[in-house]
Amino acid sequence: MCGIAGIFGQSNDSLLEGQVNKMIMSLVHRGPDDSGIWINKDNTLALGHRRLTIIDLSKAGHQPMQSSCGTFVMSFNGEIYNHRELRRELNSQYTSIRWKGTSDTETILEGFSHWGINKTVEKMVGMFALAVWDNSKEKLYLTRDRIGEKPLYFGWSQGKFIFGSELKAIKNSPGFRQEIDRDSLCLFLRHCYVPSPRSIYKDIYKLQPGYILDLSLKDTLNAPKQGYLLENLNLRQYWSYKDKVEEGLGNLIKEEKESLKLLEETLRDSIELQSIADVPLGCFLSGGIDSSLIVSLMQTNSEVPIHSYSIGFKESDYDEAIYAKEIAKHLGTKHTELYVSANDALEVVPKLPQLYDEPFADSSQIPTHLVSKMARDHVKVALSGDAGDELFGGYNRHVKAPFLWQIMSSCPKNLRPSLSKIITLFFKYC
């Protein structure tokens, strides 16, 4: 991963470089390999970047990066899995392009130059959060991937528009008031995390997945001192999960064999694309269905044993490492495991506010940190089975849902709206 940050607003600001440097220095853990700052000619915008080198390890991948035409400047976090395909498409349409390197960052910028920002973003397949400045329109654009894998926060501080990959960068912006948003706190207590578009801080928001935000200097200067309402921003949704689901419902696959074949092909292609890197690659293996499937397909695509990593617990009731070890042996991976005690896990707890920036009540954050720390000594990129349960209905609630619906369906239809309101009020005030 990389880290991005920036400040936009107020002409001829001689302090911009130092201010943005302070923001990106708080993101060194995201990008320890390189850093850069770009400031526009009017001193109204500063883009900052911390780089973790994954694709094109040379200086040709340095950011912020400017397009060959000079129109666009971008600070980018993420990876575009189909960027080689996009390059081929660009080369077939525009034979005059002279590439400086092999990074996906350069591919995106040339896409912006030839196709425009909106069309290029719609073509991109991957995980990303980026900020791009259009010199011709004098506009700043922020956008985020379809599902929201890469984080991006934004808001206002002392009349300036600020943004960053983490709240650490926001907190290090000039004059930032660390005022807790009480409505966000309420949402956290209800959901165990702060849902998008809110953040735990007042006047600071998460850019929602699948959206593009653009603003000019005029937009920043007209912002009220206490922030800016989201509905007043120029936000456009370029991709909708709901629309895709509805589209799928109109084109159902009814044969089980066909659906299994298509699923395997899709997973295999996805993992192959996400395994493209110019640095060592590994995977997290818990022994469950999701991670085991990912590791299996990774190993199928690899001519050499892949690196797999597991965390084990000395308390047998919580230990899944024994299953991971069996899977690793069966698949022939180069497996590494680390057994930790309760005290090892407790030592992580004081670090959680620095690791996650805002309240996040998922207990898996502790073993995730421990296995990531272990893997970092050997590889720079690791795949995991995260989100498998969400995509394929792997939680117990999905198993129990038919039983609960059988009970609810016996309730007369005219009473269901009232019952729903009672339950909603109960959770709201309890």
Instruction: Provide CB contacts within 8 A for 229, sequence distance 6+.
Output: none
- The confidence band for 426, taking pLDDT boundaries of 50, 70 and 90, is low
- Domain CATH code at residue 218: 3.60.20.10
The per-residue pLDDT for range 38-69, each reduced to its tens digit, is: 999 999 999 999 999 998 889 999 999 999 99
CA–CA distance, 302 with 45 (Å, rounded to integer) = 44
CATH number for 346:
3.40.50.620
Average pLDDT over residues 276-294: 90
User: Considering its fold, how many domains does the chain have in total?
Assistant: 3
Tens digit of each residue's pLDDT (9 = 90 or more) over 224-234: 555 556 777 89
Cβ-Cβ contacts under 8 Å for 287 (sequence gap 6 or more): 310, 320, 321, 322, 323, 324, 325, 326, 327
In a domain, 211, yes or no: yes
Q: Are residues 103 and 149 located together in one domain of the fold? A: yes
Does residue 303 sit in the same domain as residue 163? no
Residues 263, 228: one domain?
no
Q: Are 381 and 414 members of one domain?
A: no
**Has residue 145 been placed in a domain?**
yes
Highest mean pLDDT of the ranges 69-78, 269-278, 384-393? 69-78
| φ/ψ of residue 63, rounded to 5 | -130, 160
Mean pLDDT, to the nearest integer, of 17-28? 96
Average pLDDT over residues 274-287: 90
In a domain, 248, yes or no: no
CB burial of residue 156 (10 Å; 0-12, 13-18, 19+): buried
Residue 258: give the domain boundaries: 253-391
Active site residue 2: yes
